[in-house]
Amino acid sequence: MLKYTIERFLAMILTLFIIATATFFLLQAVPGDPLVAKTERLSAEQRDRMYAKYGLDKPVMERYLITMKGFLVGDFGESITFPGQTVWTIAHEKLPISARLGIQQMLLGITAGLALGIVAAMKKGSWPDYLVITLSILLISVPNLVFGLMLQYLFAGGVWKIFPTIGWPEGSELWTGGWEYTILPTLTGCFGYIASYARLLKTSMLDVINQDYIMTAESKGLSQRKIIFRHVLRNSFIPVLTNLPMSVVMCVTGSFFVERIFSVPGIGMYYTTAVQGRDLAVVLGWTVLIAAMMIIVIYITDILYTLVDPRIRLRGGKR
C-alpha cells in the first residue's frame, strides 16, 4: 500500500511538470503576446523598451528556465495585463468568490438533480420520467448566458424587481451574507448540475434495478420503498461519487458567463480575459494550479478507492 501511494505521488509530480512544460510551450507557440494591445499605439522605439521591461525580449529557453525556477518556490510571475497582480493575489481575492458561487450552485444543483433522478427511475416510462428527461435535455442544451439573462430580465428589473441586478457580497458577508445577490447567479449555474446528476442517477439506478439481488429482494416480499432506499440507491451512488470530486474542483474555478452577466468579481472572467490577452504568467500559473488541484483530488480518490473496493488494486499479493 505504501509503495503504491509513493508511486502514485511521484507520477503526480511528473504529470504536473509535464503539464507546466506543455502549457508553457503551447503558449509560446500561440501567436501574439501580452504586450500587443498595450503597445499598439506606441512607436517602435517605445515598444522595444516595453518588451525589455517585461523581459519578453529574452530567448524562449531562458524564459522557460526562469518560469520553472519560479514554480519551484511558488512564484508564478506577475500579470502584464493587470499590473501588480500575481497568480496568488488573484487567487486570494477571487477564489473565495467563485468558490461560494460554485458551492451554492453545486449543492442546490446536485440535490435537485438526485431527487429528480430518483423520481425518473421510480416512475420509469410515465410522464414524470419524460418530464425529467426533457428538462435535462433542455437545461443542458440552453447556454448559461441565456438562462442568466432571462432570470435577470424576469426578476431583476425587466418584469419584477425582486433581486439586485448585479453585485456580490463582500467583506464580512463574503461567505454567509448578501443572499439576495447570490440567488440568481446560483440558479443560473445550478441547471447544469441538475441535468447531469438527474440523468446519471437515473441510468445508474435502472442498472441496479436489473441486478439479481434486487429480484431476490422483491421475491422476499420487501416493499418497493425499502428496496429503493435500502438496496438500489446505496448501490447506485458509486458513479455519482466518482463524478463528485471533479465537480468540486470545477466549481471553484468560476464560470465566465454567470460572472459576466451578474458582474460577479470571480475568477472565471479574469482567466478568460487573461487568455484573450495572452497574459502568459497568469494563464500558465492558473492552469498549473487547477491542474494541481485536479491531480491531488484524483490522487486522493484513487487511494480511497483501493481502500473501499479491493477490485481496483493494481497488483495482486498482500499489501
Partner 1 sequence: MKLKKFIALLLALVLALSVAACNPGSTTTSNEPSGTASTEPGGNEERTSISKIENFEPGTHGLDWRDYTLADEQVLDILLTFPSTTNLDPNDSTASNQWELFQMVGEGLFRVYGNPDGTQTMEPAGCESYEVSDDNLTYTFHLRDNKWSDGKDVTSADYAYSIRRLLDPEEAFGYAEYFWVLKNADAYYHGEGGFTVDDLGIETPDDKTLVLTLEQPTPYFIEEMGMVPIYPIRQDVLEAAPDEETWQTDYTYHVFNGPFVITDRVMDNSITLNPNPYYWDAENVKLTQVNLLTVSEQATQALMFENGELDVLDGSAEFVDRWQDAANNGDFIMAVFGRPQTGMIYFNEYDHEPGVPGEENIPADRPRGGASGLMLSEKCRLAISLSIDRQAFLDTVYNRYTVAGGFIPKGMECNGINFRETYPDDYITKLQAQYDTPEKLRALFEEGMAEAGVSGTVSDVTLILMNTSSSSLAASQVEFVQQNIQDVLGVTVQLKNVDSSVGRTESQKGAWDMMMYSWIGDYNDPGTFTFLYTSNSGYYTTFGGFNDEEYDHWHEVAMNSTDPQERADAFHKAEEILVTKAGVAPIYYGDQIVFTQTNVRNVNWPQVNPVEISRAFIVADDAQ
Q: Which residues bind partner 1 (CB under 8 A)?
A: 30-33, 36-46, 49-50, 52-53, 81-85, 93-94, 127, 130, 134, 138, 141-143, 145-146, 149-150, 152-153, 156-158, 161, 165-168, 170, 260-265, 269-270, 273, 278
**Closer to partner 1 by Cβ: residue 231 or 278:** 278
Q: At its nearest, how many Å lie between partner 1 and the CB of residue 139?
A: 10
Sign of CA dihedral 236, 242, 248, 253: negative
Sign of CA dihedral 284, 287, 292, 298: negative
Q: At its nearest, how many Å lie between partner 1 and the CB of residue 145?
A: 5
Residue 301: how many other CB atoms lie within 10 Å: 14
**Closer to partner 1 by Cβ: residue 194 or 232:** 194
Q: At its nearest, how many Å lie between partner 1 and the CB of residue 107?
A: 24
Residue 83: how many other CB atoms lie within 10 Å: 8
Q: At its nearest, how many Å lie between partner 1 and the CB of residue 116?
A: 16
Q: At its nearest, how many Å lie between partner 1 and the CB of residue 136?
A: 11
Please state, in angstroms and rounded to a whole number, the distance separating the CA atoms of residues 195 and 59: 48
Read off the DSSP letter of residue 42.
Answer: S
Residues whose CB is less than 8 angstroms from the CB of residue 81 and which lie 6 or more positions away in sequence, other chains included: 34, 38, 273, 274, 277, 279, 282
Please state, in angstroms and rounded to a whole number, the distance separating the CA atoms of residues 124 and 190: 24
**Closer to partner 1 by Cβ: residue 252 or 295:** 252
Q: At its nearest, how many Å lie between partner 1 and the CB of residue 286?
A: 15
**Closer to partner 1 by Cβ: residue 134 or 211:** 134
Contact 47, 39 (CB under 8 A): yes
**Closer to partner 1 by Cβ: residue 193 or 270:** 270
**Closer to partner 1 by Cβ: residue 272 or 301:** 272
